[in-house]
Amino acid sequence: MTIDELYKRLSSIHPGAVLCTYTKEKVEQMLPLINEINERKKDQDTVILAHSYVAPEIVLGVADYTGDSFKLSEDATKVTQKTILFSAVRFMGETAKILNPEKDVLIPGPLTGCSLADSITGEQVRKLREQHPDYTFVCYINTTAAVKAACDVCVTSGNVMKIVESLPTDKICFVPDKLMGENIKSEMEKRGVKKDFILHDGCCYVHETYDSDLINFFRSQNPGLKVVSHPECHPGVALLSDYVGSTGQMVKYIGEQPKGSKFLLLTECGLNARMHYEHPDMEFIGSCSMCKYMKSNSLENILETLRHPEKAEHVDIDEPTRVAAKKCIDAMFHYANL
């Protein structure tokens, strides 16, 4: 890759954060890192999977696969390399390990958590199960392997409504995202599906900050604005949105809108950045909300991980937990493909 090629793509990003403003000098400094990462990837039989929320120079410069949680978990089943370097957060690396026990899965960032995944443990789920033995336990993919191992079926933001509707039960305990749970409830009501829900009180600290006042403010300033939000947002936000979906579904929806459309994207600003360079003919407004966990990934720590894999964080899951968590993820693939 040349400096000019990389600069052309990165300089189209302008989400209002210093982190995502690219000067030619900044790109020049990045290029040796990008080139070394790409050479080492080949030499060390390593594939890089990156979520759309990580920094654009990772997505554009070194990632082999990029997308939302569901796409990345599918991609993880197809890779042939012996090592997976997962530029995202720990629960995504765990999903890759659950599906590829024979591969070495490495996480480069120092902050590998997620406010949702960290909000509940496997032990808490087992206690809940004892209290509600007749409920089917559904977990969002933003959970640890231990939580997945204690649940019946996993869902992602892209397939949650389809799976919850098609599950052959009317009693569902959904963990850990309370706001997504409330969005599921209202969507099921809309679809005329009667189910009883028990919810946990986890939240995504990025998405819970958006509210209907914010949407009303931006709409009043921008006639014709299309509001696109993630199901981790409050139900009031979903209600006022033109489209609600996973990051992958948002990308698809935006791509289908007429040129010149103006959007307010209510999700982590890595997706805003991605839309800036993929759709220079559209307009994206709003503030930049960053996930500190996703943004702790950098070219520097990816390179350090490749240079010294022995010092990196390797995802390790004990076999009984992995097998039980895989059953939960396999159930997701089953219901998602019905």
- Using CB under 6 A as the criterion, which residues of the chain lie in contact with ligand SF4 when the complex forms? 89, 114-116, 142, 204-206, 232, 268, 291, 293-294
Determine the Cα–Cα distance for residues 136 and 87; give it in Å rounded to an integer: 32
Q: Which residues bind ligand 13P (CB under 6 A)?
A: 68-69, 142, 156-157, 204, 230, 232, 246-247
Instruction: Quote the least distance from Cβ 245 to ligand SF4, whole Å.
Output: 14
| Partner from ligand 13P, ligand SF4, none contacting 147, C-beta within 5 to 8 A by type | none
| Partner from ligand 13P, ligand SF4, none contacting 293, C-beta within 5 to 8 A by type | ligand SF4
Strand partners, 202: 177
| Partner from ligand 13P, ligand SF4, none contacting 115, C-beta within 5 to 8 A by type | ligand SF4
Instruction: Quote the least distance from Cβ 171 to ligand 13P, whole Å.
Output: 25
User: Which of 209, 263, 200, 253 is CA-nearest to residue 232?
Assistant: 209
Instruction: Quote the least distance from Cβ 44 to ligand SF4, whole Å.
Output: 27
Residue pair 223/198 in contact (Cβ under 8 Å)? The answer is: no
Tokens 């979903």 correspond to 238
Strand 65-67 to 171-175 pairing: unpaired
Instruction: Kindly tell me which of 230 and 274 has the beta carbon lying closer to ligand 13P.
Output: 230
Transcribe 260-305 into DSSP letters: T-EEEEES-HHHHHHHHHH-TTSEEES-----TTGGG--HHHHHHH
Instruction: Kindly tell me which of 40 and 230 has the beta carbon lying closer to ligand 13P.
Output: 230
Instruction: Kindly tell me which of 114 and 199 has the beta carbon lying closer to ligand SF4.
Output: 114
Determine the Cα–Cα distance for residues 117 and 203; give it in Å rounded to an integer: 9
Instruction: Quote the least distance from Cβ 206 to ligand SF4, whole Å.
Output: 4
Maximal C-alpha separation, the chain:
60
Instruction: Kindly tell me which of 31 and 158 has the beta carbon lying closer to ligand 13P.
Output: 158
